[in-house]
A and B are shown apart, each in its own frame.
Chain A
């Protein structure tokens, strides 16, 4: 009798266990999901940082990548002190998963490549990569103020990715009030404490790094949660975000035209945050450059979603756009990961770094250190490319680039 009563329970227990096993097998062998664990910790300044002294792996059908964080949570195998050595130029990079080099090895990251290339060009240079997956421009501004400036940068490089605008809204750290950028929340740490606590358990780390089903569920739930938070924040903010007038100078009033409709609130906020990052950088004697990472499309057909002013310019910001170069690459040489999270491939990173190095050298961004007091001025140097030495990189012959499309 007892055995007969237990049978359905045993069948149910077996059914559940088997279902989990079968789903895991399906995901491994038929439709693998990218396994991309993310270990983040809380900081005293209210935004997420990478867990220090951590080594883990990203496994996707396209790559197997080692992620190594140093004691400050920077993706690097060496320690970087705040005080820089004499004669060394520093680039502080702010960004998200593109900046931290998801889905590429450390030596393939575009930030590693520009460091190497600048060294080869004779500039003693160090890149301090403060990127954290999930950061938007709002968090990047806080990271720069609280951490980045301690490194005494000569150049602040913002790795602007297409989802930054949504991230800015989602984090709800800043908003535009009567055209002024106002900090409305002191922290944005979504699920960070629980992530931090769970990461201390080995079983959780095993699930994160080895279990397809866990990655699948987490990714699905994460996407839903992110969409919900974005929806709620958008519905709350839509009436208060107005035309931006930024401390670093007025943003041209939105103009409706056939070619360029007016900026939407998220674009206005992104521009205001970038201009604030620029203001902070200039105030500390560093120049600022924005890398506009194009949005991944079908094949290599990337799109540029960076907001431009009515004249088609960049609100006075210095922006490097690799998109034109991307367009020349044939589809059989992918620039983005197709089976992972659509980050740049090593080739995409090489092209991005080529473009950045050309721009940095052409405009001598690391040569003309500004005086820290030159608040609000811009240290732009626009040499004539015909007469000034463009250097090796500007000719594009250091990188073994893909063949252009026929």
Chain B
């Protein structure tokens, strides 16, 4: 279900009312949130709910083994029953065989086609059944290990299984294609393997990383394990941030599921509603309109770019890059704002994911402001694990480079993301080498502005690598911008559109920067606030393109 769809407000209103009716019975609220997550995610594809269940069961079990050293039979039974239920409900039953209609009210079941005939699904059920059986058999062996070995084995199991699931669903197609191309270049014929295409489950990278953070934190003894499966499942599948983050830390979010939620006051409601409306504005007014401009420029090169000629109006392509920068920012940070707003209405605080990233003055400053939950995840669980900056400059550069490369790969197994990761890794190293690696601002405003402008253009160059579907497109854009830097009527039209749809976002962020706070609305006079609300809502109603677009980060 999309936040910007008609279904979501109806869904959320129902969930919110039921949630409030439950008062401070937070365990029942957890159950409600779990059911809501099933509806929210199942709206897209019911089958992949099983993956979330599997990931939850895996990390819950290994978490108990790491944190407590044992897993009583009741908890083992709960996990087994839960997995079996999910396998039947989300995989085995073909829900198309159940017909329900309101006018007239009736429910009919086509018993002959109730069970799925998809062999792949029965294979998955069989495979996970065998894994569960092996886990039960291996449990007594695990208990015999000493504490340190058991913790290490459990952590290794959790990481291998999580990365295995992620790797299979996210990277199978890439490796299959690369292998096929390699095979074809050597033998001249394509191999008869890998005819299967794997569908990417929405949000798998987000919830897998969130789950992994839990087991790693337990291993590092920063956390107590969750004893309650329901509570842990509700945490992993919390619907506002399930499909596109922020990638929460258990110490921050899981603890909120373990206690009654604080009462939200009128200021809290106002802040939450503003976050939702502002997020929708960023997505539907800014990002969706910028998408039209960016797609117009990139579209002709998305297919066979090798045949395309270099446009003579490089200024237009530069503006198109600006448009894409605004698009991806509005899209992703808009999603985060809506997620934070909806979570806030339910009494949860989600972490900040964006902090005015285009005002960054250096690459390290940028990564402290852009997709903060991923960059801090990579820092805490990858960069530091690799040694961080503790072993001299050379190894620090290597660690930075590897972290950014894997950060690029996190977005997907495709060459543009790999190049993008390499590019940002290189930027970090170069800035460090020339002594500009810090994020402290210079005393001179003009130098800060200059550094900000340079960094923004370097970021845009990164977006070119990210958005272009092939390297020829990158070459054409760079050639046109650097060697044919001319304007055209179309260029000024693009700039006009960027300013028309983006001016308010830019102005608002300048105020946020100047006041040093993101929550700037309460600081304004009520009359100014009223005008801002009117403007933003009217923009949402009038300036949204007809075609509703999915969030870009759903694909990651």
Contacts and interface: CB of A to CB of B under 8 A. Distances in A.
A binds B: yes
Interface of A: 15, 18-19, 22-23, 26-27, 30-31, 33, 216, 220, 232, 235-236
B226 to A, nearest CB: 44
B531 A22 contact: yes
B279 to A, nearest CB: 21
B535 interface: yes
B543 A31 contact: yes
A35 to B, nearest CB: 15
Nearest to B542: A31
A23 B530 contact: no
- Nearest first, the 7 closest Cβ-Cβ pairs linking A and B are A31-B542, A26-B538, A22-B534, A19-B534, A23-B538, A15-B530, A23-B534
Nearest to B535: A26
Nearest to A15: B530
A236 B530 contact: no
B119 interface: no
B347 to A, nearest CB: 28
Among B531, B535, B541, B543, the most chain A Cβ lie within 10 Å of the Cβ of B541
Contacts of A23: 534, 538
A339 to B, nearest CB: 12
A336 to B, nearest CB: 14
Interface residues on B, range: 10 to 19
A235 B535 contact: no
Contacts of A236: 103
Contact of B103 (A15, A22, A216, A235): A235
Nearest to A21: B534
Contacts of B103: 232, 235-236
Contacts, number: 27
Contacts of B543: 31
A306 to B, nearest CB: 23
A216 B538 CA distance: 11
A232 to B, nearest CB: 8
Contacts of A30: 538, 542
User: Is chain A's binding surface mostly helix, strand, loop or mixed?
Assistant: helix
B521 to A, nearest CB: 16
Contacts of B531: 22
Among A26, A27, A220, the most chain B Cβ lie within 10 Å of the Cβ of A26
A19 B103 CA distance: 41
Contacts of B530: 15, 18-19, 22
Interface string B516-556: 00000000000000110011001001110000000000000
User: Is chain B's binding surface mostly helix, strand, loop or mixed?
Assistant: helix
Nearest to B527: A18
B535 to A, nearest CB: 7
A31 B534 contact: no
A33 B101 CA distance: 38
A18 B531 CA distance: 9
A127 to B, nearest CB: 34
B316 to A, nearest CB: 18
Given A19-B530, A26-B542, 7 more contacts: A22-B531, A23-B538, A26-B535, A31-B542, A216-B541, A235-B101, A235-B103
Contacts of A22: 530-531, 534
Contacts of B541: 216, 220
Contacts of A27: 538, 542
18 contacts: A15-B530, A18-B530, A19-B534, A22-B530, A23-B538, A26-B534, A26-B535, A27-B538, A27-B542, A30-B538, A31-B538, A31-B542, A31-B543, A33-B542, A216-B541, A232-B103, A235-B101, A235-B103
Contacts of B101: 235
A27 B101 CA distance: 41
Nearest to A11: B526
A232 B535 CA distance: 35
A30 B101 CA distance: 44
A15 B534 CA distance: 11
A19 B543 CA distance: 19
A9 to B, nearest CB: 15
Interface in B242-277: none
A169 to B, nearest CB: 15
A23 B530 CA distance: 11
Contacts of A15: 530
Contacts of B535: 26
Nearest to B530: A15
Contacts of A26: 534-535, 538, 542
Contacts of B534: 19, 22-23, 26
A18 B533 CA distance: 12
A63 B283 CA distance: 32
A19 B534 CA distance: 7
Contacts of A232: 103
Nearest to A235: B103
Nearest to B534: A22
A23 B541 CA distance: 11
B436 to A, nearest CB: 42
A27 B543 CA distance: 11
A326 B77 CA distance: 69
Nearest to A32: B542
Nearest to A20: B534
Interface string B429-469: 00000000000000000000000000000000000000000
A236 B542 CA distance: 33
A27 B538 CA distance: 8
A236 B541 CA distance: 31
Among B103, B530, B534, the most chain A Cβ lie within 10 Å of the Cβ of B534
A19 B535 CA distance: 10
Nearest to B101: A235
B19 to A, nearest CB: 27
Contacts of B542: 26-27, 30-31, 33
A10 to B, nearest CB: 13
A216 B537 CA distance: 14
Contacts of A18: 530
A311 to B, nearest CB: 34
Nearest to B104: A236
Interface in B329-358: none
A170 B301 CA distance: 44
Contacts of A33: 542
A261 B152 CA distance: 60
Nearest to B500: A30
B507 to A, nearest CB: 15
A98 to B, nearest CB: 20
A19 B531 CA distance: 8
Interface in B474-526: none
